[in-house]
Structure 1
Amino acid sequence: MRTLVKSWIPQCLWILRSPSRSFHGNNRLLTSQIVSYYESINQCKKELPEYFNFASDVLDEWARLEKDGRKPANPAFWWVNDKGEEVKWTFEELGSLSRKAANVLSGACGLQAGDRVIAVLPRVPEWWLLNVACMRAGIVLIPGTSQLTAKDISYRLQASKAKCIITSDTLAPAVESVLPGSLKSKLLVGQGSRDGWLNFKELLVVASADHQCVKTRSQDPMIVYFTSGTTGFPKMVVHSHSSYGIGFAISGRYWMNLTPSDIMWNTSDTGWAKSAYGSVFAPWICGSCVFVHHMPQFKPEVTAETLSRYPITTFCTAPTAFRMLVQHDVSSYKFPSLKHCVTGGEALNPEVFDKWKVQTGLVIHEGYGQTETVTICANMKGTKIKPGSLGRAVPPYDVQIVDEHGAVVPAGAEGTIAVRVRPWRPFCLFSEYLDNPEKTAASVRGDFYLTGDRGTMDEEGYIWFVGRADDIINSAGYRIGPFEVESALIQHPAVSDVAVVSSPDPVRGEVVKAFIVLAPAFVSHDPEKLIHELQQHVKKVTAPYKYPRKVEFVQDLPKTTTGKIQRKVLRSKEWANV
């Protein structure tokens, strides 16, 4: 970017913004360029620019290249819904509209740089405008999923000390029931109107497109996400302008394989950090088009039809959603433009990886990250993929497996997946847990930030996920990861979907319990015989001690709107009366 003087940032843009540079089909070339780029990042990793703003330094730069005819003709943003409605913006149009939106926030809403704003919105175009508008105005955005209850919203408003809330006319009644007196303004996105609320659409029409972007420092807070832990209320994870704004350059280009010619569809809900990963920062720093299908819930048939109808080149969804797609059997669909698939958020079963490849001819590149991080490790395009692994470390992260004392364990040994933070803390790691120095300090042990996830690393540096620390089942001294048991069960033709959690046991402390959704052809089978058959199947596929001693057949599993299984709901039910 023109305004950034540190050596690796111009190199980043040189790679990302050159449409003529083709990396497809030449793994040796791509691998050597990845290595070269990694080295430049590591050499300059301490030299962040003093000032950085994603809106002015990235989006406005793409708008300039677009105007000069030096960028492919793809839009910056492409939104559709099931009603046939469609919205397309170029980078120039995104810039103009986001400046108007920034003037709405600074003017009618009375907000200043550093103020915090909670946005609880579904996948509507305004959510993307407001993301960029907050960057331009130096306002700290706090996204929230539309599934939040009034109690959830109340906690977030009180904890964050937000000065404004932005939501839809559908959610406004719930918000009104818990509003604190500290709010400066309430902004309504939608067609309706309510007393005491400002209407975003009306204000946007009359707002000026003349806005001077606030000069934000690289380490100034830009976005806050609420994330749940194993105990207590959700924590507030703070990310700076540089951590997300620059931190996704590598994973965007080399994991998601994005260029200015690509159209990226990520199905994540707007309330989750994965939406920032795949629907804002990674695609836009690469000059790609962000594609959005406004689906209230994930539906495999609608997803397959969308991939067939639109020229989507890169697709990202949760592993559970990929599982639903292969169960739907997408082999009869044609995805003429799709060339690259990525996933994250939970571990991907090798069985799903194999079925997707058979049905589509495409491989799924799994990656791993958290709300507190950008992508930590991934199966990069052009490198060897090991199905079932999370891939290798993504620079500038040094990822290791450590024991309870923070010491690195040998290859193959299980421990906590951790990121080295001493002597240098990676710039793309979160800044802090807001107003919670104890939790911030507790996240570090020795020289490492602890992810809270268990895993192993093989001799080649590939990370293998075992499970969340709080998901691990400790049965009579045997530590069992639910993912491995689920992977074994999903290979049986009787199993359509499965979730494995711990269940209390008077002898072993806890045992493995499997909640199973049966395939239609097996619903009428004798349940006792089928349970025994499934238990024997797991004993053969994996270590015998890992088989589920308890099995419950259910109609469906609790999932998020993006298709991720909510094991904690099932686990809480199992342990409720203990």
Structure 2
Amino acid sequence: MRTFIKSWIPQCLWILRSPSRTFHGNNRLLTSQIISYYESISQGKKELPEYFNFASDVLDEWARLEKDGKKPANPAFWWVNDEGEEVKWSFEELGSLSKKAANVLSEACGLQRGDRVVAVLPRVPEWWLLNVACMRTGIVLIPGTSQLTAKDILYRLQASKAKCFVTDDERAPAVESVLPGSQFLKSKLIVGKGSRAGWLNLKELLAVASADHQCVKTKSQDPMVVYFTSGTTGFPKMVLHTQSSYGIGFASTGRYWLNLTPSDIMWNTSDTGWAKSAYGSVFGPWICGSCVFVHNMPLFKPEVVGETLSRYPITTFCTAPTAFRMLVQHDMSRYKFPSLKHCVTGGEGLNPEVLAKWKTQTGLDIHEGYGQSETVGLCANIKGMKIKPGSLGKPLPPYDVQIIDDQGAVVPAGKEGTIAIRVHPTRPFCMFSGYLDDPEKTAATVRGDFYVTGDRGIMDEEGYVWFIGRDDDIINSAGYRIGPFEVESALIEHPAVAEAAVVSSPDPVRGEVVKAFIVLAPAFVSHDREKLTLELQEHVKKVTAPYKYPRKVEFVQDLPKTVSGKVQRNVLRKKEWENVKKEQK
């Protein structure tokens, strides 16, 4: 594989600079040798390389080309914050610093190849160093959103059996509070200026670490990263990706949906805990030799986004549909974006009116894409193709995306069904290996010859895919996937709650919000409902991540149930959506 990469990147430079955008009838670009390689693997014409490592086979090759003057003078990484601080790394500097970080993990933390590390950090430069350092050492990285509570952290430590936890000063107390139940944890690494008892300080260790490090020789199918994803009937599942599924698979996402070249600077606002960060802040840009731009925004502020896009030479911008809704409400026409040329979004539905307003205010289209934690980019509106407002675009290679029925048969164009990926007779290599330690749930994702996404949709006569909604009860609020089971479990812990059911409720800004239907315990029936609502909301914020709390609460006498006693969330959800739509009229 290393020989292939070395020959591929110089060719890729010419391909990516080429203005040619030749389309075939099935919407697969014919100009890319990269996609041809992927399709050959997916079609069984070529095998996956036995060995592959993104750090040595891709990042170090860009560093070599950079040093030889064969790559545009663009940094690999550019970080800023509200205080005016900046960090810029070339690919060569990224390589050197990540080698130091690799030695810290191996020597100071005592970690070995295959060990797992949970990293819960905001958008700080060290998070990117840890990503690359884990690749170099063969250590499995488990990112987590910085909003995780102590209960969330304990579950992740116990489920993953992680041997190291990396976080900052603000979140360290939550980790310390669950240490008695974290029997697998061997070391704790803190990112910050100060010291903390029982913790190793990453900054101090990097200052004395050697940059002499030999990258491990990882196999293509070796584990690389795990993302926790919410479920409807249990706690989050662990989505496992290999060195090749992410390290090679994101080339189509970066090249086609993100439309990146080595001259581009990409800003993706995603939280570091989500798979979206892998899409637009690590693999997508770096496999194309682009610069990853980061603004350490603790909270999303439209005025900060406008000023940042005006001040810095950002060419590609990605944020969630909810954020785009906030931006157009702020009116982006007051700003000038001299470098911006490509905007993308994903993670939730994009309203056609938001797309139209953004176009009016900035002169730019928004190219919606679609993927999951279990995949790389599945569908996208590629630059140069007709955008149908509200659609997810067309399938990206090498995926064969279809709409299927309950028996696994492909349905006709225009008919609703489940969005699915063909996995038989050949499973695309750029998919997850499975849910770690959960073969039953992994097997449940296959229906006939297809992997089922759990999303409902239709495909029109031209091959565009349209999202309808979830097959299950997952709530997608401003791009955050929230499993009702977790919120219900938190509510039941409160003495006032006898029963609880959680569903989505439509919202003009977030798309969906969490709504809880609650049956009160007898002793609390006469309590003030307004005060009780606030108390329950605060309780959920403390027990689980704050973004999961129910923004709407309705107290009911009972919950609809099946004859076997199972709560019918679908009945509540249908009624809720119908009532809100009526109110809006």
Output the TM-score relative to the length of structure 1. Answer: 0.81
Does structure 1 retain, via aligned residues, the 8 Å contact 2:328–2:358?
Answer: yes
Task: Give the aligned residue type for 1:282.
Answer: G
Greater than 6 Å deviation, 4+ residue runs: 29-33, 500-504, 565-568
Does structure 2 retain, via aligned residues, the 8 Å contact 1:308–1:335?
Answer: yes
Q: CA deviation at 1:18?
A: 3.1
Question: What number of residue pairs does the alignment pair up?
Answer: 498
Q: CA deviation at 1:499?
A: 3.8
Give the structure 1 partner of residue 174 of structure 2: 174
Give the structure 1 partner of residue 250 of structure 2: 248
Map 1:515-530 to 2 at 5 A. Answer: none
In structure 1, C-alpha distance between the alignment counterparts of 2:282 and 2:269, rounded to whole Å: 12
In structure 1, C-alpha distance between the alignment counterparts of 2:178 and 2:97, rounded to whole Å: 31
Unpaired runs of 5+ residues, structure 2, are 476-502, 518-540, 560-585
Q: Does 1:34 align with 2:34?
A: no
Task: Give the aligned residue type for 2:172.
Answer: A
Give the structure 2 partner of residue 44 of structure 1: 41
What are the superposed Cα offsets for residues 482-515 of structure 1, whole Å, 9 maximum, x if unpaired? 89x87xxx6xxxxx676478898xxxxxxxxxxx
Does structure 2 retain, via aligned residues, the 8 Å contact 1:117–1:165?
Answer: yes
Does structure 2 retain, via aligned residues, the 8 Å contact 1:268–1:317?
Answer: yes
Give the structure 1 partner of residue 240 of structure 2: 238
Give the structure 1 partner of residue 485 of structure 2: none
Give the structure 1 partner of residue 410 of structure 2: 408
Does structure 2 retain, via aligned residues, the 8 Å contact 1:499–1:567?
Answer: no
Q: CA deviation at 1:321?
A: 0.4
Q: CA deviation at 1:567?
A: 8.9
Q: CA deviation at 1:318?
A: 0.2
Task: Give the aligned residue type for 1:383.
Answer: M
What are the superposed Cα offsets for residues 206-233 of structure 1, whole Å, 9 maximum, x if unpaired? 1110000000000000000000011200
Does structure 2 retain, via aligned residues, the 8 Å contact 1:245–1:281?
Answer: yes
Does structure 2 retain, via aligned residues, the 8 Å contact 1:397–1:420?
Answer: yes
In structure 2, C-alpha distance between the alignment counterparts of 1:59 and 1:566, rounded to whole Å: 35
Unpaired runs of 5+ residues, structure 1, are 474-480, 491-495, 505-559
Task: Give the aligned residue type for 1:18.
Answer: W
Does structure 2 retain, via aligned residues, the 8 Å contact 1:79–1:292?
Answer: yes
| Residue aligned with 1:104, SS | helix
In structure 2, C-alpha distance between the alignment counterparts of 1:336 and 1:434, rounded to whole Å: 45
In structure 2, C-alpha distance between the alignment counterparts of 1:214 and 1:122, rounded to whole Å: 28
Q: CA deviation at 1:287?
A: 0.3
Task: Give the aligned residue type for 2:343.
Answer: C
In structure 1, C-alpha distance between the alignment counterparts of 2:121 and 2:247, rounded to whole Å: 22
Give the structure 1 partner of residue 535 of structure 2: none
Q: CA deviation at 1:456?
A: 0.5
| Residue aligned with 2:219, SS | coil
What are the superposed Cα offsets for residues 399-447 of structure 1, whole Å, 9 maximum, x if unpaired? 0111111111111111111111111111111001000001000011111
Task: Rate the CA distance shift 1:250–1:572 in 2: closer, same or farther, 3 A.
Answer: farther
Give the structure 2 partner of residue 340 of structure 1: 342
Does structure 2 retain, via aligned residues, the 8 Å contact 1:471–1:502?
Answer: no
In structure 1, C-alpha distance between the alignment counterparts of 2:221 and 2:273, rounded to whole Å: 23
Task: Rate the CA distance shift 1:217–1:135 in 2: closer, same or farther, 3 A.
Answer: same
Give the structure 1 partner of residue 139 of structure 2: 139
In structure 2, C-alpha distance between the alignment counterparts of 1:258 and 1:88, rounded to whole Å: 19
In structure 1, C-alpha distance between the alignment counterparts of 2:432 and 2:252, rounded to whole Å: 17
Task: Rate the CA distance shift 1:14–1:406 in 2: closer, same or farther, 3 A.
Answer: farther
Does structure 1 retain, via aligned residues, the 8 Å contact 2:231–2:474?
Answer: no
Q: Does 1:395 align with 2:397?
A: yes
Q: Does 1:446 align with 2:448?
A: yes
Task: Give the aligned residue type for 2:176.
Answer: E
Does structure 2 retain, via aligned residues, the 8 Å contact 1:223–1:239?
Answer: yes
Q: Does 1:160 align with 2:160?
A: yes
Task: Give the aligned residue type for 1:124.
Answer: V
Give the structure 2 partner of residue 68 of structure 1: 68
Which moves more between the two structures, 294-303 or 40-49?
A: 40-49
In structure 1, C-alpha distance between the alignment counterparts of 2:557 and 2:96, rounded to whole Å: 53
Q: CA deviation at 1:176?
A: 0.4
* Identity value in percent: 74
Q: CA deviation at 1:255?
A: 0.9
Task: Rate the CA distance shift 1:572–1:460 in 2: closer, same or farther, 3 A.
Answer: farther
Give the structure 2 partner of residue 209 of structure 1: 211
Q: CA deviation at 1:303?
A: 0.5
Q: CA deviation at 1:576?
A: 10
Give the structure 2 partner of residue 328 of structure 1: 330
| Residue aligned with 1:87, SS | strand
In structure 2, C-alpha distance between the alignment counterparts of 1:379 and 1:303, rounded to whole Å: 23
Map 1:332-371 to 2 at 5 A. Answer: 332-371=334-373
Q: CA deviation at 1:258?
A: 0.3
Output the TM-score relative to the length of structure 2. Answer: 0.81
In structure 1, C-alpha distance between the alignment counterparts of 2:426 and 2:299, rounded to whole Å: 41
Give the structure 1 partner of residue 99 of structure 2: 99
In structure 2, C-alpha distance between the alignment counterparts of 1:282 and 1:368, rounded to whole Å: 14
In structure 2, C-alpha distance between the alignment counterparts of 1:482 and 1:460, rounded to whole Å: 31
In structure 1, C-alpha distance between the alignment counterparts of 2:241 and 2:171, rounded to whole Å: 27
Map 1:383-532 to 2 at 5 A. Answer: 383-470=385-472, 499=512
Task: Rate the CA distance shift 1:192–1:90 in 2: closer, same or farther, 3 A.
Answer: same
| Residue aligned with 2:70, SS | coil
Task: Rate the CA distance shift 1:452–1:572 in 2: closer, same or farther, 3 A.
Answer: farther
| Residue aligned with 2:469, SS | strand
Task: Give the aligned residue type for 2:327.
Answer: L
Task: Give the aligned residue type for 2:382.
Answer: M
| Residue aligned with 2:63, SS | helix
Task: Give the aligned residue type for 2:17.
Answer: R
Does structure 2 retain, via aligned residues, the 8 Å contact 1:124–1:294?
Answer: yes
Does structure 2 retain, via aligned residues, the 8 Å contact 1:28–1:382?
Answer: no
| Residue aligned with 1:411, SS | coil
Question: Which of residues 16, 19, 25 in structure 1 aligns to 2:12?
Answer: 16
In structure 2, C-alpha distance between the alignment counterparts of 1:462 and 1:574, rounded to whole Å: 42
Task: Rate the CA distance shift 1:497–1:317 in 2: closer, same or farther, 3 A.
Answer: closer
Task: Give the aligned residue type for 2:41.
Answer: C
Q: CA deviation at 1:349?
A: 0.6
What are the superposed Cα offsets for residues 54-80 of structure 1, whole Å, 9 maximum, x if unpaired? 000000000000000011111000000
In structure 1, C-alpha distance between the alignment counterparts of 2:206 and 2:405, rounded to whole Å: 53
Give the structure 1 partner of residue 378 of structure 2: 376
In structure 2, C-alpha distance between the alignment counterparts of 1:159 and 1:575, rounded to whole Å: 35
What are the superposed Cα offsets for residues 518-570 of structure 1, whole Å, 9 maximum, x if unpaired? xxxxxxxxxxxxxxxxxxxxxxxxxxxxxxxxxxxxxxxxxx9xxxx979945
Task: Give the aligned residue type for 1:16.
Answer: C
Does structure 1 retain, via aligned residues, the 8 Å contact 2:515–2:550?
Answer: no
Task: Give the aligned residue type for 2:103.
Answer: N
Task: Give the aligned residue type for 2:456.
Answer: R
Task: Give the aligned residue type for 2:81.
Answer: N
